[in-house]
């Protein structure tokens, strides 16, 4: 290898001396350009002419060009070589100081003159195709789908300043067009074409319609915190709704004392995150004359909240706490008054159709425990359910029995509980003794209200579970009209909260009917906050005429075939606003219309009541046939038929809106407003699909969507080109698109589109404001991925396969993904937090999760293995900055060993922007393993390699930088020795005499070369933003960016400088 001017033969030296003498004789008589030509001819043509264009530099051809602009990059190389004294090489005759100044001054002056002439030139107008990443991000932002190009990717060549978005490097082949078509069809299949606006879902077709509807319904229920039915295995949500509403109502009640005279209840509710309609509903209930238990207790407790003496913060905090306690009281009453719960599938919910009580309840409780448990603890509790704590009701527990289950052992008969308990527990329960003197059997015992009793079960060796069977009977002999909830709960050794409970009451007692009516009014006026998960779920309680009891065939049939039941009237009437109601109705219509829901219902009614359908379906039912049905089934069939027709009408009514949705979709996809003739063409295309091709509505919409995604306006980022030789300013829409693809690799969002439509984006202040907003947005992570990833080479590192998995089995997909995340998070932090750019080199922090910390040998505690944290003082463990990123260290290694050459070249080329020329074709190679057969180490083989004249110059620059990184192994771990036990030598000396001993010294050296790094950053960033190579006309813009960096600017200042530049805001002529 060589630098720009390699060593000369003796003949070459003589030639240089002769030309130098001639140049000194005539230079005073020539123009600057002629004089420079003579100097270059005399000192440089031997190696940089048409015959010998070493390092790709042909000075003979460059001098013949009409303008320095054509070969300005090569002229800059010449100037840098002259400035650093590396040209001519040390072995050749040197320019005199005056000649070097003359030649340098000439080149610099010519470059400056050309730069001034072309300053601000936006460059040729080149139509750019969406890259694979831009395509995927655009589809995601259009549809919410994570769908890239299917069955392959577009081959994204690299051009310009080394990025895939350079237009000159983008080509489209026939296979690419086929891939676009296949992907567009695939995306169209994911369109949800229902009764509301078109949306997209991760599952295609009818499945997507059904699952999308479920997702939307659950989202609305969860956001608004209510549902009135619950199945098994769900989790409570929305528990803050009532206490927040109570507090908002309290503030409204005492708004005068609180200085809130002008505030409405709706405003105070909104401040608490409570829906206006819900707060107004509760206000009406709490200011009504409801007298029934337990609603009256809740209302009275709220009205007893103290009036504020002032706007004291602590006082208001105390009121908020009391509102929480009031909600807890309300929730406790719901739990106490709910239906019997046997821990199978029902939550304790008050429902009219199941609210029938009995004075007795049989229980069978399965008890289990973790292996090694020796004792199980059971608690019995009785609570009053009618608000009268003076009746002292009791429950008689009749003949409890217990049986243990031991695996692989024959079953044993159940024993009476009193025969297996300890004497202490027998005394506590009081078998055979009534606390009020009543008579009970010897195997029975009594517990009274609010007096919990606990007993212990000693677990036999090997037993894994037990079964407790007993019957609870209300004992109201000593407490008339008593109504209680009794419960059995396993405690301590289980974390599942296992509990069985039942309401016990004698419905023949006076006052029971009044109590029942009050409870049902309570459930209607103040229904429970959503317990468990939002419907629809797999095991929701089911409506009449099904038998909803557990393990019943009718119940199972409902869950398998009919599946869903809407039960949200309170939410619709008293919480949701009109817009959300409409969304919920659309979602339910889509759900029930996505499969044969109504036919399944009809078949069940037929089976239940013995009807002869004779092949009838809901869609074809004859009203006369319905009228002739018996009354009970007739009501069900009429409701089914009516609901079916309403839903089908909703689907038909939505069709016109769907076409308009597609026009709006096209406008977003094409990144501009549609012209009137384009709207006409798209509508006509849809009409032709319906009439000429006889497609159904949903099929026609999918074909229309495919056409939109195949349009050049979608696939390409076309901008206007001037019909004259003058550049023209970008339109607002073009500027919005250029900005969003620069920072987000995707189309403009709603805010940016609105500003573009208003014509305000070309205002520099507005443009900067949008730039700052977009840089702080989560989507700027894409900028970190695309720009920094491609610049530093770790782009798509999660797909990297350049490490031998047998040599390094610890290089797993998990570790690889963590390394990739580390790199992206680091640069995302630099961008979004607008950190000083020098931190790319010198940051004293890193982003690690537990897996990566362990891999790096970092002795710190990171909270969660799958969550990254910023870790400070990274230099204490040789991390921090781009040079120590695991992804970088890995991709600059060979499959079996580290590569000082690749790592050193990466520092020069990627970081400092000072690449060495490519190696000569006969350069040879060193062993692919770190323990070659000749016994020489990698360092020894490289030192031998460097002694070759053609390789010395480049390796004297590369190797010391690469050796400094040898303390990191091929997958980025710190090490002190090679596999054979040889101590690692990280020292090296650059050809200017700079010593680099280790990673820390390398970091210091690179930081000392920050001007090179800054220039490289500015060049890369501008090239990425414009999708082209940097041109001579960009010189002054880059100088301004360099000045910003030297003043401590962050990325935002550089980006703002670019987006307000003429290069960014103008469109050049067609190339």
pLDDT digits (tens, 9 = 90+) for 910-923: 999 998 877 776 66
CA angle 754, 755, 759 (to 5 degrees): 115
- Judge whether 1068 and 856 are in contact, CB under 8 Å: no
Average pLDDT, integer, range 360-381: 92
Distance CA 965, CA 997 (A): 10
| Distance, CA of 618 to chain centre | 43
Distance CA 954, CA 55 (A): 11
Most confident of 158-167, 384-393, 656-665, 978-987: 656-665
Q: Hey, where are the domains in the chain? A: 10-118, 241-337, 357-505, 655-715, 778-887, 892-1008, 1012-1067
Q: How is domain 357-505 classified at the CATH fold level?
A: Immunoglobulin-like (2.60.40)
Residue 695 three-state SS: coil
pLDDT digits (tens, 9 = 90+) for 831-873: 999 999 999 999 999 999 999 999 999 877 666 567 899 999 9
Distance CA 528, CA 555 (A): 24
Distance CA 1029, CA 655 (A): 48
Alpha-carbon distances of 871 from 133, 363, 821, 823, 865, rounded to whole Å: 30, 55, 14, 14, 14
**Cβ-proximal residues to 861 (8 Å cutoff; 6+ apart), any chain:** none
SS3 content of the chain, % helix, strand, coil (to 5): 50, 10, 40
pTM: 0.83
User: What tokens were used for 609?
Assistant: 């009541």
pLDDT digits (tens, 9 = 90+) for 148-191: 665 555 678 889 999 999 988 887 778 888 999 999 999 999 99
Please provide the average confidence, as pLDDT, over all residues in the chain.
87
**Cβ-proximal residues to 256 (8 Å cutoff; 6+ apart), any chain:** none
Q: What is the pLDDT of residue 510?
A: 82
Average pLDDT, integer, range 1021-1043: 95
Picking from 478, 485, 473, the residue whose alpha carbon sits closest to that of residue 386 is 485
Q: Is the pLDDT of residue 236 over 90?
A: no
Q: Is the pLDDT of residue 214 over 70?
A: yes
pLDDT digits (tens, 9 = 90+) for 705-719: 999 999 999 999 988
> How does DSSP classify residue 129?
E
Q: What is the pLDDT of residue 341?
A: 57
Q: Which residue has the tokens 């208003």?
A: 758
- Judge whether 898 and 808 are in contact, CB under 8 Å: no
pLDDT digits (tens, 9 = 90+) for 775-814: 999 999 999 999 999 999 999 999 999 999 999 999 999 9
Average pLDDT, integer, range 1-28: 38
Q: What is the pLDDT of residue 168?
A: 84
- Judge whether 58 and 65 are in contact, CB under 8 Å: no
Residue 690: pLDDT band with limits 50, 70, 90? very high
DSSP-derived secondary structure for 144-193: S----STTS------BTTTBTT-GGG----HHHHHHHHHHHHHHHHTEE-
Q: What is the pLDDT of residue 722?
A: 54
Q: What is the pLDDT of residue 18?
A: 34
Q: Is the pLDDT of residue 1012 over 70?
A: yes
User: What tokens were used for 355?
Assistant: 């609210």
Average pLDDT, integer, range 42-58: 67
Q: What is the pLDDT of residue 342?
A: 54
Average pLDDT, integer, range 140-145: 96
Q: What is the pLDDT of residue 733?
A: 97
pLDDT digits (tens, 9 = 90+) for 624-635: 999 999 999 999
Helix axis angle for 174-189 and 697-710, nearest 10°, is 140
Q: Is the pLDDT of residue 234 over 70?
A: no
pLDDT digits (tens, 9 = 90+) for 245-285: 999 999 999 999 999 999 999 999 999 999 999 999 999 99
DSSP-derived secondary structure for 721-786: -BSSSS-EEPPHHHHHHHHHHHHTSS---HHHHHHHHHT-TTSHHHHHHHHHHHHHSGGGHHHIII
Residue 91: pLDDT band with limits 50, 70, 90? low
Average pLDDT, integer, range 970-974: 96
Distance CA 760, CA 704 (A): 32
Question: pLDDT exceeding 70 applies to what percent of the chain?
Answer: 85
696 compared with 530, residue with greater pLDDT? 696
- Judge whether 306 and 323 are in contact, CB under 8 Å: no
Q: What b/e sequence results for 265-274 when a residue is b if at least 16 CB atoms lie within 10 Å of its CB, and e otherwise?
A: bbebbeebeb
Q: What is the pLDDT of residue 28?
A: 42
- Judge whether 885 and 826 are in contact, CB under 8 Å: yes
Q: What b/e sequence results for 700-716 when a residue is b if at least 16 CB atoms lie within 10 Å of its CB, and e otherwise?
A: bbbbbbbbbbebeebbe
Q: What is the pLDDT of residue 126?
A: 85
User: What tokens were used for 755?
Assistant: 């500003």
Q: Is the pLDDT of residue 482 over 70?
A: yes
pLDDT digits (tens, 9 = 90+) for 881-900: 999 999 999 999 999 999 99
Q: Is the pLDDT of residue 932 over 90?
A: no
Residue 856 three-state SS: helix
Residue 335: pLDDT band with limits 50, 70, 90? confident
Backbone angles phi and psi of 676, in degrees to 5: -60, -40
DSSP-derived secondary structure for 44-86: TTTTBSSS-BGGG--HHHHHHSS-TTTTHHHHHHHHHHHHHT-
**Cβ-proximal residues to 114 (8 Å cutoff; 6+ apart), any chain:** 67, 68, 69, 72, 1032
Average pLDDT, integer, range 597-611: 94
CA angle 927, 933, 939 (to 5 degrees): 50
Most confident of 345-359, 483-497, 555-569: 555-569
Distance CA 957, CA 1009 (A): 14
- Judge whether 449 and 380 are in contact, CB under 8 Å: no
Range from 209-223, 328-342, 1035-1049 carrying the lowest mean pLDDT: 328-342
Q: What is the pLDDT of residue 618?
A: 96
CA atoms within 13 Å, Cβ hemisphere of 371: 2
- Judge whether 112 and 1039 are in contact, CB under 8 Å: no
**Cβ-proximal residues to 586 (8 Å cutoff; 6+ apart), any chain:** 194, 195, 196, 216, 650
Alpha-carbon distances of 208 from 65, 194, 218, 808, rounded to whole Å: 63, 10, 15, 42
302 compared with 387, residue with greater pLDDT? 302
């Amino acid at each position: 290898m060589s630098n720009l001017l390699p060593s000369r033969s003796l003949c070459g030296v003589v030639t240089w001396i002769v030309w130098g003498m001639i140049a000194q004789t005539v230079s005073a008589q020539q123009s600057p350009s002629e004089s420079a030509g003579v100097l270059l001819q005399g000192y440089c043509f031997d190696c940089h002419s048409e015959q010998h264009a070493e390092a790709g530099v042909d000075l003979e051809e460059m001098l013949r060009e009409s303008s320095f602009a054509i070969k300005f990059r090569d002229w800059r190389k010449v100037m840098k070589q002259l400035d650093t004294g590396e040209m001519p090489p040390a072995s050749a005759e040197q320019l005199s100081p005056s000649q070097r100044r003359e030649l340098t001054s000439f080149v610099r002056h010519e470059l400056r003159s050309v730069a001034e002439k072309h300053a601000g030139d936006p460059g040729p107008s080149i139509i750019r195709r969406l890259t694979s990443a831009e395509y995927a991000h655009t589809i995601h932002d259009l549809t919410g789908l994570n769908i890239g190009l299917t069955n392959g990717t577009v081959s994204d060549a690299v051009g310009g300043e080394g990025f895939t978005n350079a237009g000159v490097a983008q080509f489209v082949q026939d296979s690419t067009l086929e891939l676009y078509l296949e992907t567009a069809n695939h995306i169209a299949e994911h369109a949800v074409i229902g009764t509301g606006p078109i949306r997209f879902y991760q599952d295609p077709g009818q499945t997507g319609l059904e699952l999308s509807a479920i997702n939307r319904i659950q989202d609305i229920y969860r956001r608004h915190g209510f549902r009135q039915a619950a199945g098994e295995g769900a989790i409570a949500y929305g528990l803050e709704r009532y206490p927040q509403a109570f507090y908002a109502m309290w503030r409204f009640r005492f708004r005068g004392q609180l200085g809130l005279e002008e505030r409405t209840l709706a405003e105070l509710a909104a401040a608490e995150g409570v829906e206006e309609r819900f707060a107004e509903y509760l206000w009406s209930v709490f200011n009504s004359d409801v007298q029934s238990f337990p609603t009256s207790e809740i209302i009275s407790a709220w009205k007893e909240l103290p009036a504020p003496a002032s706007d004291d913060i602590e006082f208001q905090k105390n009121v908020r706490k009391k509102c929480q306690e009031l909600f807890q009281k309300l929730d406790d009453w719901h739990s106490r008054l709910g239906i019997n719960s046997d821990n199978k599938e029902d939550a304790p919910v008050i429902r009219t159709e199941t609210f029938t009580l009995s004075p007795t309840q049989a229980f069978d409780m399965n008890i289990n425990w973790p292996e090694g448990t020796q004792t199980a603890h059971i608690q019995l509790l009785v609570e009053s359910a009618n608000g009268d704590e003076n009746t002292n009701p009791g429950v008689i527990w009749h003949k409890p029995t217990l049986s243990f289950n031991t695996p692989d052992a024959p079953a044993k008969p159940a024993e009476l509980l009193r025969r297996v308990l300890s004497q202490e527990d027998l005394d506590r329960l009081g078998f055979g003794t009534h606390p009020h003197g009543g008579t009970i059997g010897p195997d029975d015992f009594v517990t009274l209200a609010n007096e919990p009793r606990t007993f212990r079960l000693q677990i036999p060796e090997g037993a894994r579970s037990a079964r407790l069977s007993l019957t609870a009977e209300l004992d109201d002999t000593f407490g008339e009209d008593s109504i209680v909830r009794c419960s059995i709960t396993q405690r301590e050794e289980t974390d599942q909260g296992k509990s069985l409970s039942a309401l016990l009451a004698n419905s023949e007692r006076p006052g029971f009917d009044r109590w029942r009516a009050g409870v049902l009014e309570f459930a209607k006026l103040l229904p429970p906050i959503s317990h468990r998960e939002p419907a629809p779920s797999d095991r929701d309680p089911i409506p009449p005429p099904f038998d909803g009891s557990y393990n019943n065939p009718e119940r199972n049939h409902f869950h398998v075939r009919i599946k869903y039941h809407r039960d949200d009237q309170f939410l619709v009437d008293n919480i949701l606003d009109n817009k959300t109601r409409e969304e919920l109705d659309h979602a339910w219509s889509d759900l029930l219309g996505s499969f044969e829901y109504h036919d399944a219902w009809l078949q069940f009614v037929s089976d239940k009541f013995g009807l002869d359908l004779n092949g009838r379906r809901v869609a074809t039912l004859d009203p006369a046939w319905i009228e002739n049905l018996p009354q009970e089934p007739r009501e069900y069939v009429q409701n089914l038929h009516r609901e079916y027709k309403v839903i089908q009408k909703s689907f038909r009514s939505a069709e016109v809106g769907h076409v308009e949705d597609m026009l709006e979709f096209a406008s977003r996809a094409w990144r501009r407003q549609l012209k009137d003739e384009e709207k006409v063409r798209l509508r006509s295309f849809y009409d032709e699909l319906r009439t000429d091709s006889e497609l159904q509505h949903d099929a026609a919409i999918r074909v229309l969507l495919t056409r939109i995604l195949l349009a050049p306006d979608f696939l390409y980022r076309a901008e206007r080109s001037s019909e004259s030789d003058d550049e023209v300013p970008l339109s607002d829409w073009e500027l919005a698109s250029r900005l969003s693809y620069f920072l987000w690799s995707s189309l403009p969002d709603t805010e940016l589109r609105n500003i573009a439509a208003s014509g305000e984006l070309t205002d520099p202040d507005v443009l900067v404001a949008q730039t700052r907003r977009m840089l702080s947005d989560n989507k700027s992570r894409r900028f970190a991925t695309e720009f920094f990833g491609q610049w530093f080479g770790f782009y798509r590192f999660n797909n990297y396969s350049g490490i031998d998995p047998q040599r390094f089995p610890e290089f797993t997909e998990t570790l690889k993904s963590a390394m990739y995340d580390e790199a992206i998070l680091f640069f995302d932090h630099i961008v979004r937090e607008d950190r000083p750019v020098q931190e790319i080199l010198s940051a004293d922090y890193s982003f690690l999760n537990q897996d990566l910390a362990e891999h790096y040998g970092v002795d710190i505690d990171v909270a969660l293995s799958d969550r990254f944290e910023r870790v400070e003082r990274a230099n204490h463990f040789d991390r921090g900055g781009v040079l120590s990123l695991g992804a970088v260290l890995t991709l600059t290694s060979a499959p079996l060993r580290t590569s000082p050459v690749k790592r050193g070249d990466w520092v020069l080329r990627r970081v400092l922007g000072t690449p060495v020329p490519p190696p000569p074709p006969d350069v040879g190679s060193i062993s692919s393993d770190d323990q070659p057969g000749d016994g020489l180490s990698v360092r020894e083989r490289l030192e031998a390699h460097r002694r070759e004249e053609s390789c010395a110059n480049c390796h004297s620059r590369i190797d010391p930088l690469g050796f400094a990184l040898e303390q990191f192994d091929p997958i980025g771990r710190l090490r002190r020795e090679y596999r054979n036990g040889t101590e690692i030598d990280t020292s090296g000396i650059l050809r200017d005499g700079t010593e680099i001993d280790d990673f820390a010294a390398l970091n210091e050296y690179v930081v000392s070369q920050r001007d090179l790094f800054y220039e490289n950053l500015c060049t890369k960033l501008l090239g990425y933003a414009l999708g082209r190579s940097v041109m001579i006309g960009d010189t002054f813009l880059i100088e301004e960016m360099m000045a910003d960096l030297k003043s401590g600017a962050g990325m935002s200042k550089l980006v703002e400088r670019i987006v307000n530049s003429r290069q960014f805001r103008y469109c050049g002529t067609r190339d």
